[in-house]
Amino acid sequence: MTKKIEVAEAPGLYGPLAVEEKVIQQIWEKSDFMIDHLQTIHGEALKIMNSGKWNLAEEGPDFKEATISIDGRKVTGDVEIHFEEKDWIRHRHHKDPAYAGVILHVLLYPPKGKKRVAFSDKKQKQHTLVLLPYLFKSVEEYAEEDALEKLVGISPQSTIPEHFPKNWEESKDWARIRWIQKCKHAENRLNSASWENACHQWFLEVLGYRRNRTPMARIAQLFPIKAWQEPMNEKDVYDTQKDWKIRGCRPANYPQKRLQQYAQLVRKQPKWTSFLQKMNLRDDSFINTKTPINRLSLQLKKKEDEWAQNILVGVFGGTRLHTLMTDACLPLWSVYHDKNIFETWFYWSAGDMPAIFRKWSQQANLSNRSQPSCNGLAQAILWGSLQQ
């Protein structure tokens, strides 16, 4: 019997967001969270020595044969993952002997009230970890990455989806939702890190792509930007992580190569975050005029050249150059300066997006020679795809 797919609602910026429990399981399986200094809800020091084998095929705990350390004591057994503590009772695990070997109950959200759930094995001491405080990013971002991963594999022959922007105005409306989300994420980052380290952390995560974003996020935490401004060996940095995903990765995108490029950037331009902070990314000259808002009136060619040559000093190129700006730097700049640069973000050149997006936009006559594809259009299509 295959396992039932559990879906819960997480709070999103536009109301509840449907999230599969599988997304939370993936976070655990990939150790896609801050794994140092973990504590159970009872204050016990927790170390994850082996997250266990992901049980996708049969009923029973989500992960089997895991090994953890509780206050220095090694424990081996199963791990069960839920959104909330009450799911243990709701799923009747407390009466199921298949869950007698669970040593750790992993929750997304903190327990409510003082009453704790009972394990099916009454002799088994209960250990519970709440993941939310240790996540690198919001639940919304994790869910988005999971959905985007599925979109990448869409056949080039697939037809335009039903939920698709009908015109340029609707594209802007949908893209604006994405922009507000990204600015909210940027605000959260700036609340917990300096401008320099917020840029540094998000930048490295983007360099990891979807497959290696997690180890890149850990590296950004282990080695803040000041560490990169000192002589360091990128191979030693690379070797701190053991879960790199290389298979199927183009040589140009190998994480070790991306780390070398980032080290090269910091050596050539040690204050790249300061130069980014001082960029003039908002152009108000067209406000209250009849000048149409487009790439030309926003002088985006000039801004993109400044980003590529003066700040990134030619180290990065291709679509990744634009993804670094649109996914990380523009939202951070907007929040830091308290200036809305939605138009700049919308009309900026598109970065890494599924190739099918460009085909769909051309078929729907949303992009052509006079109105080229841009980041905002790709973001609108992504937003529509996430609503399917």
350: left (phi over 0), alpha (psi -120 to 50) or beta: beta
- DSSP state, residue 127: -
Can you give the pLDDT at residue 349? Answer: 95
pLDDT at 13: 39
Give the position of tokens 């799911």.
Answer: 87
pLDDT at 16: 44
Query: What CA–CA distance (Å, rounded) separates 194 from 165?
Result: 37
Q: How far apart are CA 237 and CA 264, in angstroms?
A: 14
d(CA 291, CA 289): 5
Distance separating the N- and C-terminal Cα atoms of the chain: 27
Instruction: List Cα–Cα distances, 241 to 121, 213, 238, 257, in angstroms.
Output: 36, 12, 6, 15
Query: Cα-atom radius of gyration of the chain, to the nearest Å?
Result: 23
At residue 231, the pLDDT reads: 86
Instruction: Determine if the pTM surpasses 0.85.
Output: no
Alpha helices (H) along 38-108: 87-90
Query: What is the per-residue pLDDT for 152?
Result: 64
Q: Which tokens in the block code for residue 45?
A: 């020091």
Quick one: tokens of 381? Answer: 């299509």
| Centroid of chain to Cα 5 | 22
C-alpha 16/C-alpha 210 separation (Å) is 24
CA distance 131 to 97: 26
pLDDT tens, N- to C-terminus, the chain (388 residues): 445 555 444 444 334 445 778 889 989 998 888 888 899 999 999 999 999 999 987 789 999 999 999 999 999 999 999 999 989 988 888 888 889 899 999 999 998 876 666 665 556 677 999 998 888 877 877 877 777 666 666 666 678 888 899 999 999 999 999 899 899 889 988 998 999 999 999 999 999 987 898 899 999 999 999 999 998 899 999 999 988 988 878 888 899 999 999 999 999 999 999 999 999 998 665 566 677 888 988 999 999 999 999 999 999 998 999 999 999 999 999 999 999 999 999 999 999 888 888 888 988 889 887 788 899 999 999 888 777 6
